[in-house]
Amino acid sequence: MTSEIWTEKYRPKIFSEVMGQEDIVKKVQSLTNSLNIPHLLFVGPAGTGKSTLALIVVKELFGKDWRDSYLELNASDERGINIIREKVKNFARTKSMSNVPFKIIFLDEADALTPEAQQALRRTMENYSSICRFILSCNYSSKVIDPIQSRCAMFRFKLLEKKDIEKVIRKIEEAEKLQIGREAIDSLYEGSEGDCRRTINLLQSTASISPIISPELVSTVISNAKPKDIKVVLDYALSGDFQKSREKLLDVMLKESISGQDVIKSIQKEIWNLPIEPELKVKLTEKTGEIEFRIVEGSDPFVQLQSLLASFVLTGIGKG
């Protein structure tokens, strides 16, 4: 079973099944029940329920014939002005044949639309608002022009908390007859960072190996550096032994096939568990941000990570 099928299988089907966005769900459900729906703009990180909530709204409104009154465009579609002028406009100008007096167009990742396409979209939203409603989702509202934002009711989605992720995991555990311990749930949550879709994909990957989900199995699938390995690297550095710290870091990166950016993230998390003054933790956190920027810009990851370890060594010997 592919990850897409698993994700679809466990996608919430009704409002009450959407995890972690209770306030948003309550408001959107009220609008849906009253048929008093404005244009909607869902903003937030990936895997937090934006597309799912849009689909639930559509299915609640139109029932089993929802596909006749619904158009979805996602990131795989063309995002230029022509798609707005032709496909979107042609769908928006036709009257709904259902009992609901309007149709719905869902634009996923609307922040990927070109500026010209967004300008064309604002006019379409204005001209056909009586017979068509738009639901837009995006990761960054700053990339959506102000005229579109002002035409929409905006809802900001947040990353899911551990208790919400755990509910999803336990539901899948029961349905798929898996065995998932508390530590494995912690590992899945840390690996997904509040992204429910990623949690489901990670769980499927581990379940395909064994029905008994352990933290070690999750770490293997995630391919992140184990916290205890990173702690050894940092302990060597803080004790002033740059050579051993460097060798351990190289061993971790080669053995686990971990990228420089993933190592940086693991180091950043581990900094706050180090037995050093809070002021030094702040300085080292700032240094990790600088090193990550250099790696993203194309610098050699291992050279930059060695530079970061040198900062830890200087901190450990009191010169940081």
- Residue 200 sits in a domain whose CATH number is 1.10.8.60
In angstroms, the CA 285 to CA 267 distance is: 9
pLDDT for 294: 92
Helix boundaries (H) for the chain:
3-9, 22-34, 50-62, 81-83, 89-92, 115-127, 146-150, 162-176, 182-192, 196-207, 215-222, 227-238, 242-256, 260-271, 278-296, 301-316
> Among 193, 222, 251, where does a domain finish?
222
pLDDT for 242: 92
> Which residues are CB-neighbours of 197 under 8 A, at least 6 positions away?
7, 46, 47
pLDDT for 224: 64
pLDDT for 39: 95
pLDDT for 1: 58
Co-location of 288 and 200 in the same domain? no
Q: Which residues of the chain have pLDDT under 70?
A: 1-4, 75-79, 223-225, 319-320
pLDDT for 70: 92
What is the percent of the chain with per-residue pLDDT over 90, rounded to a whole number? 42
pLDDT for 2: 61
Co-location of 152 and 54 in the same domain? yes
Backbone angles phi, psi at 193, to 5 degrees: 55, 40
Name the residue range of residue 90's domain.
21-156
In angstroms, the CA 136 to CA 159 distance is: 18
Domain contains 10? no
Check which CATH number belongs to the domain holding 282 and give it.
1.20.272.10
Split into its structural domains, the chain has a count of 3
CA angle 69, 39, 165 (to 5 degrees): 90
pLDDT for 103: 93
The whole-model pTM stands at 0.78
pLDDT for 145: 93
Exposure string for 125-163, b = 16+ CB within 10 A, e = fewer:
beebeeebbbbbbbbebeebeeebbebbeebebebbeee
> Among 156, 188, 213, where does a domain finish?
156
pLDDT for 225: 63
Co-location of 152 and 32 in the same domain? yes
